[in-house]
Structure 1
Amino acid sequence: MNWFNRIFEPKTGPHPNPDDQRYDIEYLPALISEPCECCGNETTVLKRTVSRDGSIHGACMITYTACHPEIPARAIIHFGISRKEGSAITTFGMTIQPGGIAFIDVGDGNSSDPDDLCTPLSRKEALEHPDKPAILRIIDQLYEDDKVLIDYFTELQFQQCTCLIAEGDCRN
């Protein structure tokens, strides 16, 4: 059976209710850094806390500089904060663009501090991690609900189209 037929094949089993899987995300005000040394524009830092049923599950930090559309926004998500005491907090890294995300290396995972509860993941580890579906749900919610991020993506797409128009190559 080819992939096209599988798309239209009837699905069995109950479909999950998307509202049951949603997280509560607190959108803290954007922080604006000092002007960039190369261009004079500011870097925006978005901090978000993620919870469900009153328990904090994670924290997310997204950074971007509006004048650098060639450099995607970067996100660090610490996940597992509400789990039982003594368990590690897992850190996922990713680039975020209007067209999607890509997991990236956060670090080598080797901490010199034995009391450090944070486990940074490599790209390969993130792709295989059991919490990856939860991270993707959080990112989906940010794409849908985070007004500051949506405004940035809208401006970014407008800038790209404007560049194409200036070069005489706009296909819109």
Structure 2
Amino acid sequence: MLSIDFESPKFSKCPCCGTTTTTLTRFVYRDGNAHAIYYAAFTEGHTDRTVRALVSIGGWGNEGTSDQRIAMVLKLWADETEFGATVLDAENSLWSGSPLLGRILDRAEALAHPSIGDVFCITDRIVAEDSFVRSHLERTH
């Protein structure tokens, strides 16, 4: 069973418009064991009401190393009937400078990776349980 540890959000000013950007760091556990980490960010007032995210999965336990991890870049979105997640290429990552996360995969490699199902399970939990993300996405329609 997956559970999420909700750290306090960080707020900053968007350099292009001065509105508030929210950045989230979350730790994901499977059956009580470290399983993944995700980062998410969005800016109030931007016309693009999506959430940019990165999920790093694999080797997050006490003995884990970044060589055992991979990361996938995602765009979370909503329309009138559903929430969705789209895998993006690594060049779209807001967090590409952190070796701690493991290698960031491009879209084609991510979609073929054995962990893609786990990543989509995590994105389902993000939109269901992360009140900051859900609130932002629900304001899109």
Q: Same fold (TM over 0.5)?
A: yes
- 2:45 aligned counterpart, secondary structure: coil
Which consecutive aligned stretches of 4+ in structure 1 deviate over 2 angstroms post-superposition? 82-87
Which residue identity lines up with residue 82 of structure 1 in the other structure?
G
1:129 matched residue in structure 2: 113
- 1:156 aligned counterpart, secondary structure: coil
Unaligned runs of 5+ in 2: 92-98
1:14-48, Cα deviation, whole Å (9 max, x unpaired): xxxxxxxx311111111101x22322101100111
How big is the shift at 1:71?
5.6
Unaligned runs of 5+ in 1: 1-21, 108-114, 158-172
Residues 117/69 of structure 1: CA separation in 2 closer, same or farther (3 Å cut): closer
Q: What is the percentage of aligned positions where both structures have the same residue?
A: 26
1:139 matched residue in structure 2: 123
Select the structure of larger CA radius of gyration.
Answer: 1
**Does 2:5 correspond to 1:26?**
yes
CA RMSD of aligned residues (A): 2.1
**Does 2:33 correspond to 1:55?**
yes
Residues 77/116 of structure 1: CA separation in 2 closer, same or farther (3 Å cut): closer
Return the structure number with greater strand share. Answer: 2
Residues 57 and 83 in structure 1, CA contact (< 8 A), matched pair in contact too:
no
- In 2, distance between residues paired with 1:147 and 1:118? 27
Structure with more contact order per residue of length (Cα contacts < 8 Å, sep ≥ 6):
2
1:108-153, Cα deviation, whole Å (9 max, x unpaired): xxxxxxx978111000011001000101111101111111111111
Residues 43/128 of structure 1: CA separation in 2 closer, same or farther (3 Å cut): same
Q: How many residues align?
A: 128
- 1:74 aligned counterpart, secondary structure: strand
How big is the shift at 1:61?
0.3
Which residue identity lines up with residue 27 of structure 1 in the other structure?
F
- In 2, distance between residues paired with 1:77 and 1:116? 12
TM-score (norm 1): 0.67
Q: Which aligned pairs between 1:57-96 and structure 2 lie closer than 5 A?
A: 57-70=35-48, 72-80=50-58, 81-82=60-61, 85=64, 87-96=67-76
- In 1, distance between residues paired with 2:74 and 2:20? 21
